[in-house]
């Protein structure tokens, strides 16, 4: 357990030229260690510099907190020191010579390297997990582990998932240091010097009057009590489609404000606060201003239930309910300007796929789903994909039938979604009949008609037969997303291994499918114009034998089996 030393009057720092006497009056050392075999291993250490207006936090009860687990002990302490002593302790930690404040216990660390490698500060781009909100965007100096962590520290980190005692230790640490230390490899075993802005409590920009063009920006923040802000300089720079535009720089008034006239309506800006002696004190990344807020809502009670009967291939599956909701209204497009057009072009370039995409841009990984020996799970997963459709769904499958439409097309959950199908039946498929003696085409016509019932709240139902182009592969297109499938929809997830793969570059394939669909013949016309059956003893015998084989292999009670085409 660590003890706490009392705070003493601050003295001028002997090191760190960017720290000006009077900016900070104390430093709070937060120390987390793991005691194992009488050795205190560093888990995390921070030295938080307190601006002159900030009071010193009270000493913790009993000097700190500790928690035993297994053969180790976790210790957490918070110690307030005068500024010079706090900086000296940080230097000792950098050199591997630090002890627990107020005690003689040495702290064992791996070799620590300073970043930056001089007595100065940097800004961290990501939010700091251990930094409270009053810090704003603090300046940092880090001590980075340069070698592997000690074996007890690695054991604690690696065992938090599988070892219950380590998991409880992890939760205890999270409650005491207020962030999940063992989940941050970049902070475990590290040290950090935190220097919040000593002159302003916050810093940002706002538009003074949005109704006047050109606009005026006001930069600034609230000065800290007793702070001299005469040396501060504030900079604002407009960013247009990623490129810098106009720039303004000036000094704040006594209230910490500086106004800069813009050239037009401001698109995006970044701000910087700096002092010639202290260096950069704050910096913000480019950000837009919120000019309007659009709120859309849908009433849940208006959702309508669509009762879907099971397909004939799985009569025991039971009726399922699909709740259909209206498509959300899209917000109105803002007025077109050259800047917005340029931004859209830049976004299109970033998203472009294929050989014309810039080589340095990362490629999007394709989604892959392995389907085998679980028809129910496969059907549910495909239905989940289809449920996201807002505009249309296209099934491309030579053997698509009425059961497939019943099983998958009814999974749409938004009103007005169009259902399209592109099939390529084998010769003589018009002779195929089900167990009740109904022919394949008649079943399809009945299903198409039932889906067109307004009560289903579907969009256009358009099933076509490819005549000029032969189909082999199977595809599922959901709005602008296309999945490629190895098996037909009536066989996916059965006993054979199959894959569904999301097409990473769908534009060319979508165009080809659209052309094939446009050239295809409507199913109604194809079925009405089917050739008359040519009877022969050989064909009739084969047809009856196939019917007998299917009857023998028919699904038993509680089982499902995909249709097999002849």
DSSP state of 63: G
Burial call 89-107: b when 16+ CB within 10 Å, e when fewer: bbbebbeeebebbbeebeb
pLDDT at 173 (0 to 100): 92
> pLDDT-based confidence at 11, cuts 50/70/90?
very low
Residue 138 has pLDDT above 90, yes or no: yes
For residues 140-156, give the mean pLDDT.
Answer: 92
- How many CB atoms neighbour CB 273 within 10 A? 27
Residue-by-residue DSSP string for 165-220: HHHHHHHHHHHHHSS-GGG-TTTTTEEEEEE--SSBS--EEEES-TTSSS-EEEEE
Instruction: Specify which of 41-50, 168-177, 500-509 reaches the highest per-range mean pLDDT.
Output: 41-50
What integer pLDDT is reported at residue 361 of this predicted model? Answer: 42
Q: Which domains can be identified in the chain, with CATH numbers?
A: 24-195 (no CATH), 204-288 (2.60.40), 309-354+367-552 (3.30.870.10)
pLDDT at 356: 47
Measured CA distances, 162 to 165, 166, 168, 170 (Å): 9, 8, 11, 12
* Cβ(358)–Cβ(349) below 8 Å: yes
Strands 39-51, 190-195: parallel, antiparallel or unpaired by DSSP?
parallel
State yes or no: pLDDT of 119 exceeds 90.
no
Contact status, residue 432 vs residue 443, Cβ threshold 8 Å = no
Say which residue, 53 or 436, is predicted with more confidence.
Answer: 53
Which spans in 51-163 are helix H? 83-94, 151-158
Q: Are 156 and 165 in contact (CB under 8 A)?
A: no
pLDDT at site 433: 57
Q: Which of 193, 178, 190, 128 is nearest to 153 (CA)?
A: 190
221-242 pLDDT tens trace: 999 999 999 999 999 999 988 8
Nearest to 25 by CA among 107, 86, 69, 105: 86
Give the global pTM.
0.59
Lowest-confidence pick of 38-42, 123-127, 261-265: 123-127
pLDDT of res. 467? 76
Q: Mean pLDDT, the chain, as a whole number?
A: 83
What are 85-116's pLDDT values in tens digits? 999 999 999 999 999 998 888 999 999 999 99
DSSP H stretches of helix in 180-331: none
Position 360 pLDDT exceeds 80 = no
pLDDT digits (tens, 9 = 90+) for 174-227: 999 999 998 888 899 999 999 999 999 999 999 988 888 888 999 999 999 999
Among the residue ranges 119-128, 403-412, 510-519, the one predicted with the least confidence is 119-128
């Amino acid at each position: 357990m660590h003890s706490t030393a009392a705070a003493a009057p601050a003295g001028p720092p002997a090191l760190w030229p960017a720290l000006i006497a009077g900016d900070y009056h104390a430093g709070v050392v937060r120390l987390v260690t793991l005691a194992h075999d009488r050795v205190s291993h560093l888990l995390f250490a921070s030295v938080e510099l307190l601006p002159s207006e900030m009071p010193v936090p009270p000493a913790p009860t009993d000097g700190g907190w500790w928690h035993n687990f297994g053969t180790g002990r976790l210790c957490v302490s918070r110690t307030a020191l005068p500024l010079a002593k706090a900086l000296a302790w940080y230097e000792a930690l950098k050199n591997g010579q630090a002890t627990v404040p107020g005690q003689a216990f040495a702290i064992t660390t791996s070799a620590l390297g300073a970043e930056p490698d001089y007595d100065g500060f940097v800004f961290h781009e990501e939010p700091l997990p251990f930094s409270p909100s009053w810090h704003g965007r603090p300046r940092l100096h880090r001590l980075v582990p340069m070698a592997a962590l000690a074996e007890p520290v690695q054991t604690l980190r690696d065992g938090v998932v599988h070892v219950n005692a380590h998991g409880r230790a992890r939760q205890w640490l999270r409650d005491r240091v207020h962030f999940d230390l063992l989940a941050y490899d970049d902070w475990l075993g590290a040290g950090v010097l935190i220097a919040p802005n000593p002159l302003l409590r916050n810093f940002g920009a706002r538009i003074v009057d949005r109704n006047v063009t050109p606009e005026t920006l006001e930069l600034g923040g609230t000065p800290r009590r007793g702070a001299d802000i005469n040396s501060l300089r504030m900079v604002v720079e407009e960013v247009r489609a990623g490129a810098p535009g106009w720039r303004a720089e000036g000094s704040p008034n006594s209230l910490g404000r500086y106004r800069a006239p813009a050239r037009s309506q401001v698109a995006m800006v970044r701000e910087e606060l700096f002092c010639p002696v202290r260096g950069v004190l704050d910096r913000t990344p480019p950000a837009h201003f919120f000019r309007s807020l659009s709120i859309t809502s849908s009433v849940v009670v208006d959702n309508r239930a669509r009762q879907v009967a099971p397909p004939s291939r799985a009569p025991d599956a039971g009726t399922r309910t699909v709740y259909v909701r209206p498509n959300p209204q899209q917000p109105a497009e803002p007025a077109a300007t050259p800047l917005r057009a340029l931004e859209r072009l830049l976004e299109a370039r970033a998203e472009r796929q294929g050989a014309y995409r810039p080589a340095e841009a990362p490629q999007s990984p394709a989604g892959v789903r392995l389907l085998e020996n679980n028809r129910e799970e496969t059907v549910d997963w495909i239905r989940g994909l289809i449920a996201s459709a807002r505009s249309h769904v296209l099934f491309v499958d030579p053997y698509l039938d009425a059961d497939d439409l019943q099983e998958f097309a009814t999974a749409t959950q938004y009103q007005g979604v169009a259902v399209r199908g592109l099939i390529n039946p084998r010769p003589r498929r018009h002779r195929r009949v089900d167990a009740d003696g109904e022919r394949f085409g008649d079943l399809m016509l009945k299903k198409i008609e039932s889906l067109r019932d307004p009560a289903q709240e579907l969009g256009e139902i358009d099933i076509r037969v490819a005549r000029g182009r032969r189909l082999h592969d199977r595809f599922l297109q959901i709005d602008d997303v296309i999945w490629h499938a190895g098996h037909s929809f009536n066989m996916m997830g059965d006993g054979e291994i199959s894959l569904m793969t999301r097409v990473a570059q769908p534009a060319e394939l979508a165009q080809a499918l659209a052309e094939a669909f446009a050239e295809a013949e409507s199913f109604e016309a194809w079925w009405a114009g089917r050739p008359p059956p040519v009877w022969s003893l050989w064909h009739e015998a084969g047809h009856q034998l196939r019917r007998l084989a299917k009857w023998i292999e028919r699904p038993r009670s509680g089982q499902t089996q995909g249709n097999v085409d002849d």
